Amino acid sequence: MDFLTLIQVLDSTVRLATPLLLACLAGLFSERAGIFDIGLEGKMLMAAFFSAAVAANTGNVWLGLLAGIASSLVLSGLHGLASITFRGNQLISGVAINFLAAGMTVLIAQDWFQQGGRTPSLFSGGRFEPINLPFADALANVPVLGPIYSELLSGHSVLVYLAFLAVPATAWVLFGTRFGLRLRAVGENPAAVDTAGVSVVGLRYAAVMICGLLCGIAGAYLATALQAGFVKDMTAGRGFIALAALIFAKWRPWHALGACLLFGLLQAVALRFQNIEIGTFVIPVQMMDALPYILTVVILAGFVGKAVPPKAGGEPYVKER
């Protein structure tokens, strides 16, 4: 592999890791507050559809982004209502959201556009365009550093840069603010937080809404930046891969970045290299495509070491009388 090919693979890694990173940070906020959310997949899918649908109808990608975020927040509100207010089973609520999104997106897409459950292709104005960083073209021919700056760091959409900036922002919010301290405490010992006069319900709803916001951006990125429109089940398990990355990262923001980049790299390698030859043995392309999902199963099976979730995770809080 030459240097330019390596840069191209890493560039694809960044693009493919972006929705995983946003969804992983979304799950991080929710689960740190004690609300398990396996409905990340459904929120991303719903946001992908509505962002593409609105962008196709209006020609304005920013309106599409807002629509995607709004649809994801609605599903987050439903999840919060079921698991926080009515103290229902959080896993069942997440599964229901995934099924709801998978069915509704295709149904509404077919009703609106009559294109077999997909939206029309998005063109300029309906998509997020790449952003060229200052002096990227001028430095392109500089050895080593030029390709890194012009090909790897430059040329991404605004949502990519937003996703990577969200990592230090998440670390600061969770570990450097009073809100973050209370959020983490709610996930560990909600009774102690309640005793201190802080609303457990309010904090958990805040975490669920932040989760919806980030999932909305992730879904919008899939449909309006990574691809040019919505197709059925376009999230392709990314929500579950994000959950695996979250467990792999042991609920820490910077580790989540590394885990998502690892999954993104596996996807990039699978797309770039088809039928890899190792001596006389040829690795089929199907094996390469399955690598991210195989790693997901390995992580969830516990082969990466013990990952201890927040102590109050998955348990509804009942206020003592």
Cβ atoms < 10 Å from Cβ of 162: 15
Mean pLDDT confidence for 256-260: 93
pLDDT band at 307; cut points 50, 70, 90: confident
pLDDT band at 296; cut points 50, 70, 90: confident
- Between 166 and 320, the more confident residue is 166
Residue 321 has pLDDT above 70, yes or no: no
CA distance 174 to 172: 6
CA distance 33 to 206: 9
pLDDT in tens, 18-67: 999 999 999 999 999 999 999 999 999 999 999 999 999 999 999 999 99
- Percent of residues, the chain, with pLDDT higher than 90: 62
Q: First CA to last CA across the chain, in angstroms?
A: 66
For helices 200-221 and 40-58, the axis angle rounded to 10 degrees is 50
